[in-house]
């Protein structure tokens, strides 16, 4: 509530309501008498308090009733100074809710390639895998040798002669190999040749210089043609 302007004294401004603090009243009256600014009766009147502090909250916060430092100001104390310098500090309010998540920022630049790591230890040997399925039977191969047979033919060979013997395979068979033998072994026997004459015959030629008549034998190994 504003003070009544009719209470102005010697141009000192409106007098506020009486407050709880009057500590400066006596000193102010003495000052007025000494300066001759007022009569003793006027000096005895209580003067304006220099300042008043009131309790603002149960937490012990102290507020300056005259935030501008002038007890003669026409500003309303405390309530009129919310936007202009009130030193009161209220209790801290509760923390507000967390705001929404902001948008994702742009992707940063790709970092440089790191150094190559050390080679890891060799892992343990894995378990043996299961046996695979049996493969398909292969195609039948060509017929092997069959009807194997060895045949021979012998002849008499006199001393100092070149003797030749030929042996033939049975019908339906071919010659696969051959050779020659003699009933005498020693110096004077010279093998001249032994070879297949054709697909079915084998021939051997021997020179006899033993001084004796000997027997020579030609051999042929035969098998079925198919």
pLDDT in tens, 140-157: 988 788 999 999 999 999
SS3 state of residue 41: helix
CA distance linking residue 36 with residue 208, whole number of Å: 185
Confidence of residue 21 (pLDDT cuts 50, 70, 90): very low
As a whole number of angstroms, the distance between CA 89 and CA 68 comes to: 16
Q: Give me the percent of the chain exceeding a pLDDT of 70.
A: 61
pLDDT at 215 over 70: yes
pLDDT of residue 28: 39
Burial bucket for residue 142 (CB in 10 Å: 0-12, 13-18, 19+): exposed
Q: What is the mean pLDDT of residues 186-208?
A: 94
132 or 13: which carries more pLDDT confidence?
132
132: confidence class by pLDDT, cuts 50, 70, 90: very high
Can you spell out the DSSP letters for 106-150?
Answer: PPPPPPPPPPPPPPPPPPPPPPPPPPPPPPPPPPPPPP---S-EE
For range 176-185, the mean pLDDT: 92
Give the integer Cα–Cα distance in Å for 146 and 222.
Answer: 9
Tell me the backbone φ, ψ of residue 216, rounded to 5 degrees: -115, 150
pLDDT, mean over the chain: 75
Q: Tell if the pTM clears 0.85, that is, is over it.
A: no
> Residue 61 contacts by C-beta under 8 Å, 6 or more apart in sequence?
55, 88, 89, 90
Q: What confidence tens digit (pLDDT) does each residue in 63-104 have? A: 555 555 555 555 444 444 445 555 566 788 999 999 999 999
Model confidence at 186, pLDDT cuts 50, 70, 90, reads: confident
pLDDT value at position 45?
45
For 47-74, what is the mean pLDDT? 49
Closest CA to 206 of 197, 198, 218: 218
In this prediction, residue 33 has a pLDDT band, given cuts at 50, 70 and 90, of very low
């Amino acid at each position: 509530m504003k003070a009544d302007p009719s209470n102005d004294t010697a141009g000192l401004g409106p007098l506020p309501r009486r407050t709880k603090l009057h500590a400066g009243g006596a000193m102010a009256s003495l000052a007025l008498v000494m300066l001759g600014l007022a009569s003793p009766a006027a000096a005895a009147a209580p003067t304006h308090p220099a300042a008043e502090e009131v309790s603002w909250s149960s937490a012990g916060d102290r507020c300056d009733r005259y935030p501008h430092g002038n007890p003669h100001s026409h500003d309303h104390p405390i309530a009129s100074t919310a936007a202009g310098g009130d030193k009161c500090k209220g209790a801290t309010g509760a923390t507000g809710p967390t705001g929404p998540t902001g948008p994702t920022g742009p992707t940063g630049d790709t970092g440089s390639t790191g150094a190559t790591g050390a080679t890891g230890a060799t892992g343990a040997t894995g378990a043996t895998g299961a046996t695979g399925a049996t493969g398909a039977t292969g195609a039948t191969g060509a017929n092997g040798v069959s009807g194997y047979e060895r045949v021979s033919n012998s002849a008499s060979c006199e001393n100092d002669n070149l003797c030749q013997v030929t042996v033939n395979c049975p019908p339906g068979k071919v010659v696969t190999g051959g050779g020659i033998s003699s009933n005498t072994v020693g110096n004077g026997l010279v093998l001249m040749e032994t070879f297949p004459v054709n697909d079915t015959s084998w021939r051997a030629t021997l020179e006899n210089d033993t001084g004796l008549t000997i027997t020579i034998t030609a051999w042929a190994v035969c098998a079925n043609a198919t």
